[in-house]
C-alpha cells in the first residue's frame, strides 16, 4: 500500500503542471504583498481618529433611541475595540507579517481551484492516457489503487495548503516584519458579540477550517473523476459546485432545507466568526452532515470505480 502511494506521489510531483500551479500561488502571494506595500498608508494620527470615532459612537448611542439592538451592540463592540488599541498604543492601520498572512488567505479560492485540478485528474488521466490498463493488470486490487490515489490527492492538498500558509507568512515577514504575532485580532460571532485572539492563533485556526473546505472540494473532484473518468468534467463540476454552492447557500439562506447542502456546512469557521448560514444550525449538525457526505461520496466513487468495465479506448 505504501508503495502504491509513493507511485501516485511520483506521478503527481514528477509532472511540471504540479509545480506551475504551486508557482502561480506563490506569485499571487508576492503580488498581493507588493500591492499592499505600495498602497499602504499609515495614518500617523490614528489615535486621534480613533478617539474621535469613539466619541461619535458614544453620542449616537446616547441620543438615538430608535437604534436597533444589533446596531447598538455592534457600536459598543467597536468602541471596545478602539479603546483597546488606544490603551495598548497599537496602531490598527499598521500592517504586520502576521496580518498579511491572514489577508493573503483570501487567495484560497485560487488554492482550491488548483487543488481540484490535481484531485480531478488523478483518476481520469489514467483513463484518458490508457495507462489504467497497465495499472489495473498488476497485482493490486482496484480498491487499493483507488485508495492510494485518494490519499495522494489529499496529501497534495495538504502540501499546497501548507505551502500557501508558509509562503504567505514568509512573504509577510520579509515585507512587513516578523513582529506582532501576539497582537489581537477582533471578530464578532453569530450573536454579534466581539471576541479577540492573538493574530497568529487566528491565522492557524483559519487555515484549519480552510483545510476542511479543501478536503471536501477535492473529494468532490475525486469522486466525479472516478465516476465519469473525465478530468474536464471533474474539475469544472467541482469548481462550479464550490462557487455556485457557496453563492446558492448565501442566497437561499432563508429556507431551512439549505442546511442540508454540503456547502452550507463546509466552512466551519462560521461557528466562530459570523454565524452559520442558516439560523439554528449547530456545529454538531454540520459535523454530522460532513461525515455523511464524506462517506457517501467515497462509497459512490469506490463502488463505481471497482465495478465498471474498463472499456475500449
Ligand X SMILES: Nc1ncnc2c1ncn2[C@@H]1O[C@H](COP(=O)(O)OP(=O)(O)OP(=O)(O)O)[C@@H](O)[C@H]1O
Total binding residues toward ligand X, as defined by CB under 6 A: 2
Evaluate whether 249 touches 261 at the Cβ level (below 8 Å).
yes
- Three-state SS for 148? helix
Nearest-angstrom CA–CA distance, 258 and 251: 10
Q: Which of residues 284-313 bind ligand X (CB under 6 A)?
A: 311-312
Q: Which does 306 bind (CB under 5 to 8 A by kind): ligand X, another protein, none?
A: none
- Residue 121 CB, nearest approach to ligand X (Å): 24
Q: Which does 14 bind (CB under 5 to 8 A by kind): another protein, ligand X, none?
A: another protein
Q: Where do contacts with another protein occur on this chain (CB under 8 A)?
A: 3-4, 6-7, 10-11, 14-16, 129-131, 133-141, 307, 309-313
- Three-state SS for 189? coil
Q: Which of residues 243-262 bind ligand X (CB under 6 A)?
A: none
Q: Which is nearer to ligand X, 16 or 311 (CB)?
A: 311
Q: What is the CA radius of gyration of the chain?
A: 23
Q: Which is nearer to another protein, 3 or 63 (CB)?
A: 3
Evaluate whether 152 touches 122 at the Cβ level (below 8 Å).
yes
Q: Which is nearer to another protein, 147 or 171 (CB)?
A: 147
Q: Which does 106 bind (CB under 5 to 8 A by kind): another protein, ligand X, none?
A: none
Closest alpha carbon to 22 in 124, 136, 163, 119: 163
Residue 1 in contact with ligand X, rule: CB under 6 A? no
- Strands 194-198, 184-188: pairing is antiparallel
> Length of the chain in residues, anyone?
313
Q: Which is nearer to another protein, 66 or 139 (CB)?
A: 139
Evaluate whether 22 touches 117 at the Cβ level (below 8 Å).
no
- Three-state SS for 310? coil
- Residue 1 CB, nearest approach to another protein (Å): 11
Site residues (CB under 6 A) for ligand X?
Answer: 311-312
Amino acid at each position: 500500500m505504501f508503495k502504491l502511494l509513493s507511485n501516485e506521489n511520483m506521478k503527481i510531483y514528477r509532472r511540471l503542471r504540479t509545480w506551475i500551479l504551486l508557482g502561480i500561488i506563490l506569485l499571487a502571494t508576492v503580488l498581493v504583498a507588493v500591492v499592499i506595500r505600495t498602497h499602504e498608508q499609515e495614518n500617523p494620527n490614528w489615535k486621534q481618529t480613533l478617539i474621535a470615532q469613539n466619541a461619535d459612537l458614544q453620542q449616537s448611542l446616547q441620543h438615538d433611541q430608535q437604534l436597533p439592538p444589533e446596531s447598538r451592540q455592534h457600536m459598543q463592540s467597536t468602541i471596545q475595540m478602539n479603546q483597546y488599541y488606544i490603551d495598548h498604543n497599537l496602531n490598527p492601520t499598521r500592517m504586520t507579517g502576521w496580518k498579511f498572512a491572514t489577508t493573503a488567505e483570501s487567495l484560497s479560492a485560487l488554492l482550491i481551484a488548483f487543488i481540484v485540478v490535481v484531485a480531478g485528474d488523478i483518476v481520469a488521466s489514467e483513463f484518458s492516457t490508457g495507462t489504467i490498463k497497465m495499472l489495473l493488470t498488476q497485482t493490486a486490487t482496484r480498491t487499493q489503487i483507488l485508495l492510494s490515489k485518494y490519499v495522494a490527492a489529499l496529501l497534495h492538498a495538504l502540501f499546497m495548503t501548507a505551502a500557501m500558509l508558509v509562503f504567505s507568512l514568509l512573504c509577510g515577514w520579509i515585507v512587513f516584519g516578523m513582529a506582532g504575532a501576539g497582537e489581537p485580532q477582533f471578530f464578532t460571532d453569530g450573536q454579534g458579540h466581539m471576541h479577540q485572539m492573538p493574530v497568529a492563533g487566528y491565522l492557524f485556526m483559519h487555515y484549519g477550517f480552510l483545510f476542511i473546505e479543501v478536503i471536501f472540494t477535492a473529494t468532490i473532484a475525486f469522486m466525479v473523476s472516478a465516476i465519469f473518468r473525465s478530468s474536464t468534467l471533474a474539475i469544472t463540476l467541482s469548481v462550479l459546485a464550490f462557487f455556485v454552492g457557496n453563492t446558492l447557500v448565501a442566497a437561499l439562506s432563508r429556507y431551512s432545507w439549505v442546511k442540508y447542502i454540503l456547502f452550507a456546512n463546509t466552512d466551519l469557521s462560521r461557528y466562530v466568526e459570523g454565524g452559520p448560514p442558516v439560523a439554528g444550525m449547530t456545529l454538531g449538525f454540520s459535523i454530522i452532515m460532513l461525515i455523511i457526505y464524506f462517506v457517501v461520496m467515497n462509497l459512490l466513487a469506490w463502488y463505481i470505480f471497482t465495478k465498471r468495465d474498463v472499456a475500449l479506448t
